[in-house]
Every structure is written in C-alpha cells, then in structure tokens.
C-alpha cells in the first residue's frame, strides 16, 4: 500500500492573483467555527451513513486531501477542509455535530481540475472519490477512490507543462550501490539504472527535474541525505513498504506486467537494485491510478558512460534549461534552440541538451540529420507545417491507457494518426539514415487511424455521460437510439396528425406526464369519435385520456432510448479505447519518431537561421574554436554586435588557459561559450562559430558565481570549495573544466594559495582541459612554471580617460583589473570613485605606517617607499629602521650584480656563504 507522503507544508498559503475575489474571513474561519471535532472522537453509531462512508475512505488514504463527490461538488471535511481552504483561498464553513462543528469546504466538480493543480503545486496528494454506481434511491450510493493525483502522477493536460516531462523517481538503497527508476505516467517513458553511490544517482536524477521521489520505508537517512545533496531542489517524497523494492518481488511484478519470461532482454540481469526501484515505481503508478498502465510497455536501462555528464551546478551555471535569475526558459540555451512544434519534440530536445552524447557514431548520425534539414528549407517548412497539427501522442495514449481520457482525446489521436502518412511521405524524400529510420514506426497505425476517424464524433463533449461521442453512421443501433431520443417530437407530431385524420377529432393532443407517460387526450365533446382500439387510461374533469398499442410501444422505446444510447456510446468508447491500449506500443514508437524528427527540425532551423556550422567531433584532445559566439548572448543583443573569439585547448601545449582582465570585459562569456559550444556539438547540434573541432568530452564542470546555501548551513566560500572539491575528485583527462574566480571568498593570501594549488593539481595530476579566470595577477606566473599553462586576457583600451571593453580574447596576461572603472560604470557616487582612486595610488605606491603596513585611509604625505609590503610578507614582524637595513641594501646590490647564466655552481655556493656571513655580522 502507498504510505503517507513526507511533504514540507508551505509556510504561507498562496496569494490570490491581482483582482481575484478573496473570500471573507478565510484565515480566521477555523477560529470562528468553535470547537472542532477530531474524527477519532466521533461515535460511529451517531454518524450519518454518508459520514461513515467518508471516514472509511479517508482512513484508507490518510496522506491525501480527499475530494469526496457529493452531487455537483467535491467536498472536504475536518483537517482536509481547514488546510485546503487556506491553500485554495475558498470559504471554510461547517456543519454542526451537537455542540461541536465539523469543518467543511467544497469545489464544483466541473472546475475541480484547477483546484487539484494548486494542491499538487504545494507538493500534496489528492484522492478523487467518485460515485461507483447510479443513484437508485435505495440506500447510500457506493463511492470509491478512482485515482490519486500526486506531484509525480499528473495526467491532466491542463496541469502538465506541454514541453516538460513529469517524472517520478523511485530509489532503492543497497549495500553496496543504489538503484533508481524514472517514470513519466503521462507518457509511459520508463527507465532505470544502478550506480555505486547515492551521490551519483542524485546527480543523474537532478538533470531530469524530478517532481516526486518514491522511497522505501525505513530508508537510511545518511544515504538519503547523500542522494538529495546533489539536487538543487528536493522534490516531495512518498513512501512504499520496503518489500516493494525487494529485487525478487519487483522482478515478479515486472515480468507479469510486461508478459515476458525474463528481464535479461531489458538489461537487468545484473542490476537487482535497479530492478527493485523499477518494480516499486510501476506498483506506485498502478496503485494510485487504479489501472493496469498498459501504455508502459518498455523499460530502458541507462548505461553509466553513455552520455556527457553535466552535474546540477554546471547545468545551472550554464543555464542549459532555465535562467538563474528568474528560472525562465527564455534566456537559456533551451530557449534559444527550441524551435519545435510539438510538446514531444520539445521534451526530446531538452533531454538531448542535459545528456549530450559520448558516442561518435551517434553524434555523427544526429549531425547528418540536422545538416540535411538545415539545407532543405522547403522540406523543413513542409514537415513543420504538418507537425503543428499533430497532438501530443504520448500523453493522449497515456491518458487513454490509464482510463483518464475522453472522446476528445480519441478524436485528437485519430486526427494525429491520420497525419502520419503525410509525414512519412516527406521524410521518405530525405537521405539521412537517422531520419529514414523513422519511417517504420510512422507507418504502422493506418487501421487504427481509419477506425477512429469513422467512429468519433466531430465535436464530442468533455464528459462521457452526456452522449454525442460517436459519429452518425458508425453503428446502426446507436443511430436508431439517437433518432428516438433526439427526434421523438417529430414522430409524436406525425402520430397526432395521423390520428386526427383517422378519427376526425380536431382537438386531439398527444401529451406526456411522469405518472402516466404518453397518452392521447380527447375532450368530452368528441368521445363518440374514439376508436375501439384505444384503451382508456384516465378520466379528468373535462377530458378522457387513452393509450394505443403504437403509442405504448413508442413510449417504451423513447423512455429508455436516452439511457440505452448513453450506455451504448460508453460501450463503443471503451471498445475504441481498448484498441488504443492494444496499440499503445506502436503509438509510443510513432510518438518517439515524431519527437526525434521535431527535435532534429528544431536544430536544423537554428543552424540555418542563426548561421551555425557543423563542428568536427573526434577522439582527439583538442578543443579549437574559431570565431566562436555565445549562443544565448548573441540572440539577446538588440543593436550591439557580438564579438567572436578564438580558443584553443589541448593536452600538449595549452591544457590550461589563465584568463585575466577586468570585470564586465567578457571573461565569463568567453568561458561559458566554450562550454556551451562543446555541449551543443556533442548533443548533435551545429554551433555558433566559423569552425569548431571538439575532442570528445566526458564531463563538463563549472565553478562560476558566488552563492550561499543557508538551508544546508553553507557559506558562499563553503559552497565554492565544495564545488571545487567535486571537480577535483571527479574530473578526468577527458573533462572540460570552467573555473571563474576560485578563492575569492576568503582572504587574498588564502584565496591565491588555493587557486594556485587547484591549477597545479589540474595540470600535474588530472590533465583536464581548463579555462581558469582570475583577478589574481600573481596566478599568471604559473605559466612560467608549468609547460601546458598559457596566459590570455580580455583586451581593453583606455580612451580619453575612459576604459573601452573590446570583448576580444588575446594572448598574454592583463596588467590591470580596472575595477574602479567598472564601479564608476555601475553608478557609484563620484566622490566614492575619486576616493577609491586615491586609495589605489596609496596602495600601489607603498604608503606605510610606522609598522610597515599600508595605510589606505591616509593621504599621500606619509611615504616609506623603501619598505613596500611584499605580497607574501604579511606575517613578517614589524620593525623600525636599523643598521641591518644597510646590510640588506648591500645584499640586494650584490644580488643584482650576479649574472646567473655565467655563474658556476661552485661560485654560487661561495657567494651564498659570503652573504650569509655578512648578514650575520650585520
């Protein structure tokens, strides 16, 4: 059974939108109710049948807000009502129970979806309890939970984001190792994997933006902490009994679901933890949705080394899916590259970007498809035009398979399937193997498409019980019932006219009431004209009522026609739905083909319209980009032209580039664009450059920006060091590392020491290709010590007392930081900028106090230039001028007189001995 969810309740209820009507007294309503009953204190013998039924259902679903259907409303009681009224901003009322009050609130059933969506947005569960039978007047109507909506089990298209997956992740902990499964109930996408540590599993789950986490009861808190530490946002969690994650039980459950004899064909022979996680995820889906989940017809196993790895920090820093500032798609890499026309394609493209390829043949195959589509503009536009009319096949199939779909879903599915031959006809004109491989899945659903086109009405209603689901002419018996239920008045008028002509009774009427049904009414003045085959039904004051065999037969037909019609339509709908479920595998394969085609079309359009080029991706150690551009920044510029830059990294001569230059000059932009171009190239996309050669990268790491994590008790510097440690522990010779201002969160000496040591470690121990931006000018000296370190900088130009940022990366280190100039551009008051310049002059010229320390607060009238403070001299004890200063000056002069290139080792030793003696005498 599903156990209570471990959710963090919101601190405050959501605020209504501007202009929305706010119920009076919602916040204070609970206090105004007076004493509120606890359900446990109720005497069952004093409860109404309806309340007993409610409490029974609530007991079975203690962790969910229970939507209990009563007439045209879903009602909530007790604590559910209090909580929901605050979160949904609806009026809280009550019904009396003696001296106490039972809190209650409700929402109209026809608008329940948006209220459910709000509750799901808070990480809560909602159990939907509907009538399970028609009201008969004999006792209370039977009700039962038809489905449970959770953050990871959302099927409503009005709640789901069309361009994003809605993943549930299930995790099984072992010793050693951790297994995980990822399931999107709305599409049927199902995969699993097993990794050595919880941290690795957490990293892979974080890229998928998990909406709900399913865990075994009694999971080790330490392992759970290690898992969630890799996630920027921990999703709501739910629990299942630990036995559901046990490998043997899960294997049996999966075998029965997939109707196979072995899981070896899925790649799960040696992955017991992944098997356990997958079994638990599927069980959770079936228990919450009360369905067999027929659309979940395959299970993929994700290999450990199949993709370029981007951890959570890297995806955020590079803004791959969303921006850091406002969590928006606009301004992200996905926002630039997403030119898809279907939700399936958009979701596919997002997955390509967070998990680029590491297989050269796969990269080449995808590039071939993108290149062909970029060059064939007419075919590209034709395909895009057709795909715009294709609905979301994955989610349509998912809803119908899970019993949540309606006739409109069938209609959209049928129309979309009818478009597949048109898509195939265009794809058949292409040559790319990847694209031609899509023809198979696109050509297998003709019979189902034809059946749905013949069967489903042009404009079916939203609900199944209103009739009008089936197209006229599809089913003869249904057509007759429709004729009876919708055109009965015409028949009665014809019968009335015929009987008038036969009897000569001019005022004869055919009437109806609920007691007697249909009858012929004749006034007393015409009783002599009544035929013998009429049967008297009732006598009234001024008339007589009769029935005929024909009218009685018609009455039996017409009174049951509507009921029979609705029942038959639902039966036919279920038959059509069953056909969809039977073809779910082929529908999902067609959806996958459409998604792949749409994603390739999007990349091809970007390549053609943005001026991208095909990069060379090979097995070398080089990253060489000519005239590279930042894919997002260049699209965001209105009038200013983007300045392209050249970058070359390799493991022979330029493994590490130390990048210096002032703030705002463009260091971060250049480094990020190298990472993004690499990511795009391995995702199969063309790139913004004149040319690019990318030696295969296994991971991209970034350490950019300053932020703290107060929730986990980590300062800005702690976060910086934690991310740096992660890089040094996991980077390989194949990795690309982007480091921006390492060590700036602490003192100058500590920071410089750490930055130097990190760069050395990357050079000597790891060998990863690295871009290292810094304001520590001393770090540029590393190029003299390490053969594969090179200095470069962002060029600036001083013009008429002002600094012009040229945005150009040039070889050689920068000699100034221009921080004060940036402060002036940012709008600091002129007096602050002027004073800062004065202090800078004092520091650079070596103004010292009596103890030999710089005094930035003083003016320039106190100077001791001979005592300039050295960078690494902060721990030297202060001392006044003494006779030893003369010895030091003599020693300095002697050092300057030495010619190192011509001095022999013996001469050097003699000089050292001589200077030591002089210093001792001094």
Report pLDDT digits (tens) over 8-48.
333 333 333 333 333 333 334 444 444 556 676 677 777 78
With CA atoms as reference, report the closest residue to 63 among 285, 217, 238: 238
- Look at residue 192 and tell me whether its pLDDT is greater than 90: yes
* Paired tokens of 290: 């009360």
Residue 163 belongs to what H/E stretch? none
Q: What is the pLDDT of residue 6?
A: 42
pLDDT score at 711: 44
In the three-class reduction of DSSP (H, G, I as helix; E, B as strand; rest coil), residue 533 is classed as coil
Q: Do 5 and 150 form a contact (C-beta atoms < 8 A)?
A: yes
Q: pLDDT tens digits for 601-652?
A: 999 999 999 999 999 999 999 999 999 999 999 998 877 889 999 999 999 9
Q: pLDDT tens-digit profile of 839-891?
A: 777 766 665 555 555 555 555 444 444 444 444 444 444 555 555 566 667 77
Instruction: Give me the numbers of helices (H) and strands (E) for the chain, helices first please.
Output: 30, 28
Within 10 Å of residue 569's Cβ, how many Cβ atoms?
24
Find out whether 358 and 351 touch, Cβ atoms under 8 Å.
Answer: no
Q: Return the pLDDT at 863.
A: 46
- 428: alpha, beta or left? (left if phi > 0; alpha if psi -120 to 50): alpha
DSSP lists the bridge partners of residue 172 as 179
| Residues forming beta bridges with residue 616, ordered by sequence position | 693
pLDDT at 98: 52
Give the residue from 338, 381, 356 showing the smallest Cα distance to 162.
338
What is the pLDDT, as a whole number, of residue 441?
Answer: 94
Give pLDDT tens digits for 386-436. Answer: 999 999 999 999 999 988 889 999 999 999 999 999 999 999 999 999 999
Q: What is the tens place of the pLDDT at every residue in 666-694?
A: 889 999 999 999 999 999 999 999 999 99
Residue 750 scores a pLDDT above 80: yes
Any idea which residue has 């909602």 for tokens? 126
Half-sphere exposure of 219 (CA within 13 A, CB side): 31
How many CB atoms sit inside 10 A of residue 588's CB?
23
- Count of CB atoms situated within 10 Å of the CB of 427: 19
| DSSP assigned state of 764 | I
909 vs 411, 902, 918, CA distance in Å?
94, 14, 14
Asked if residue 369 lies in contact with residue 378, where contact means CB atoms within 8 angstroms, the answer is no
Query: CA neighbours within 13 Å on the CB side: how many for 541?
Result: 0
Q: Which residues pair with 237 in a beta bridge?
A: 6, 213
Question: Which residue(s) pair with 517 in the sheet?
Answer: 513
* Two structure tokens written together for 296: 């979940």
The helix/strand/coil state of 636 is helix
3-state helix, strand, coil in the chain (%, to 5): 45, 20, 35
Name which of 343-347, 465-469, 653-657, 785-789 the model is least confident about. 465-469
CA atoms lying within 13 Å on the CB side of residue 734: 13
Helix (H/G/I), strand (E/B), else coil: 431: coil
d(CA 81, CA 65): 8
- pLDDT higher for 463 or 371? 371
Cβ neighbours of residue 611 under 8 Å, at least 6 residues apart?
Answer: 688
Q: Are 215 and 237 in contact (CB under 8 A)?
A: yes
d(CA 613, CA 247): 48
pLDDT tens sequence across 554-587: 877 777 787 888 889 999 999 999 999 999 999 9
The pLDDT of residue 21: 35
Q: How far apart are CA 64 and CA 147, in angstroms?
A: 11
The per-residue pLDDT for 528 is: 86
């Amino acid at each position: 059974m599903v156990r209570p969810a471990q959710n963090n309740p919101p601190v405050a209820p959501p605020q209504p939108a501007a202009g929305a009507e706010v119920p009076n007294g919602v916040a204070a309503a609970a206090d105004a109710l007076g004493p509120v009953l606890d359900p446990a204190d109720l005497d069952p013998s004093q409860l109404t049948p309806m309340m007993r039924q409610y409490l029974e259902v609530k007991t079975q679903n203690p962790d969910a807000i229970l939507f209990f259907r009563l007439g045209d409303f879903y009602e909530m009681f007790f604590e559910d009502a209090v909580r929901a009224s605050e979160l949904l901003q609806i009026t809280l009322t009550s019904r009396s129970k003696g001296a106490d009050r039972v809190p209650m609130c409700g929402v109209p059933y026809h608008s329940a979806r948006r209220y459910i969506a709000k509750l799901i947005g808070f990480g809560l569960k909602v159990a939907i309890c509907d009538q399970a039978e028609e009201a008969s007047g004999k006792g209370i109507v039977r009700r039962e939970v038809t489905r449970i909506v959770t953050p990871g089990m959302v099927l409503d298209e009005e709640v789901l984001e069309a361009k994003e997956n809605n993943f549930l992740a299930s995790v099984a902990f072992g010793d050693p190792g951790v297994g995980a499964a990822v399931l999107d109930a709305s599409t049927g996408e199902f995969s699993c994997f097993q990794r050595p540590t919880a941290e690795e599993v957490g990293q892979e789950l974080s890229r998928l933006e998990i909406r709900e986490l399913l865990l075994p009861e009694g999971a080790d808190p330490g392992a759970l902490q290690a898992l969630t530490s890799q996630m920027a946002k921990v999703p709501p969690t739910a629990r299942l009994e630990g036995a559901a994650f046990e490998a043997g039980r899960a294997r049996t459950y999966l075998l029965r679901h997939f109707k196979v004899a072995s899981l070896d064909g899925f790649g799960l022979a040696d992955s017991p933890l992944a098997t356990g996680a997958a079994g638990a995820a599927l069980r959770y889906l079936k228990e919450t949705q009360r369905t067999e989940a027929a659309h979940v017809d395959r299970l993929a196993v994700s290999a450990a080394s199949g993709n370029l790895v981007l951890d959570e920090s890297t995806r955020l820093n590079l803004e791959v899916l969303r921006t850091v500032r406002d969590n928006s798609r606009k301004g992200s890499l996905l926002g630039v590259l997403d030119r898809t026309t279907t939700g399936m394609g958009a979701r596919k493209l997002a997955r390509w970007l967070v998990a680029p390829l590491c297989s050269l043949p796969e990269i080449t195959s995808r590039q071939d498809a993108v290149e062909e589509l970029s060059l064939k503009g007419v075919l590209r536009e034709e395909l895009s035009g057709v795909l715009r009319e294709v609905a979301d096949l994955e989610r349509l199939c998912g809803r119908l398979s899970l019993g949540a779909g309606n006739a409109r879903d069938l209609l959209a599915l049928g129309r979309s399937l009818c478009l597949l031959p048109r898509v195939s006809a265009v794809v058949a004109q292409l040559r790319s193997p990847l694209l031609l491989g899509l023809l198979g899945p696109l050509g297998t659903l003709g019979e189902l498409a034809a059946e749905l086109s013949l069967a489903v009405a042009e404009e079916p209603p939203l609900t199944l019980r209103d009739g009008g689901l089936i197209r006229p002419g599809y089913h003869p018996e249904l057509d007759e019932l429709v004729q009876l239920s919708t055109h009965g008045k015409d028949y009665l008028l014809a019968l009335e006219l015929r009987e008038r002509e036969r009897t000569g009774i001019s005022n004869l009427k055919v009437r109806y009431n609920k007691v007697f049904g249909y009858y012929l009414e004749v006034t007393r003045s015409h009783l002599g004209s009544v035929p013998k085959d009429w049967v008297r039904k009732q006598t009234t004051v001024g008339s007589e009522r009769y029935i005929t065999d024909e009218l009685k037969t018609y009455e039996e037909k017409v009174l049951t026609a509507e009921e029979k019609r609705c029942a038959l339509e639902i039966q036919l709908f279920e038959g059509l739905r069953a056909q969809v479920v039977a073809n779910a595998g082929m529908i999902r394969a067609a959806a996958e083909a459409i998604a792949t085609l749409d994603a390739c079309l999007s990349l091809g359009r970007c390549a053609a319209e943005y001026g991208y080029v095909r990069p060379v991706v090979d097995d070398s150690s080089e990253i060489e980009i000519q005239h590279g551009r930042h894919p997002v920044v260049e699209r965001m510029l209105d009038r200013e032209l983007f300045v392209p830059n050249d970058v070359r990294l390799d493991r022979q001569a330029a493994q590490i580039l130390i990048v210096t230059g002032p703030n705002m000059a463009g260091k971060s932009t250049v480094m990020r664009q190298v990472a993004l171009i690499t990511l795009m190239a391995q995702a199969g996309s063309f790139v913004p450059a004149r040319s690019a050669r990318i030696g295969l990268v296994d991971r991209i790491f970034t350490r950019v920006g300053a932020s703290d994590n107060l929730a986990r008790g980590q300062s800005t510097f702690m976060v910086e060091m934690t991310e740096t440690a992660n890089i040094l522990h996991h980077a390989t010779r194949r990795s690309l590392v982007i480091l921006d201002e390492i060590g700036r969160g602490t003192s100058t000496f500590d920071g410089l020491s750490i930055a130097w040591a990190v760069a050395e470690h990357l050079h000597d121990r790891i060998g990863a290709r690295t871009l290292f931006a810094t304001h520590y000018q001393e770090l540029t000296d590393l190029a003299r010590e390490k053969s594969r370190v090179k200095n470069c900088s962002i060029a600036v130009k001083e013009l008429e007392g002002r600094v012009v940022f040229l945005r150009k990366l040039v070889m050689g280190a920068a000699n100034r930081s221009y921080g004060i100039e940036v402060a002036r551009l940012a709008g600091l008051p002129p007096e602050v900028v002027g004073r800062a310049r004065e202090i800078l002059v004092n520091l650079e010229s070596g103004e010292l106090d009596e103890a030999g320390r710089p005094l930035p607060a003083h003016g320039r009238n106190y100077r001791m230039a001979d005592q300039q403070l050295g960078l690494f001299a902060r721990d030297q004890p202060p001392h006044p001028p003494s006779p030893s200063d003369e010895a030091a000056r003599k020693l300095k002069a002697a050092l300057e007189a030495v010619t190192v290139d011509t001095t022999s080792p013996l001469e050097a030793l003699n000089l050292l001995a001589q200077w030591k003696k002089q210093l001792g005498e001094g």
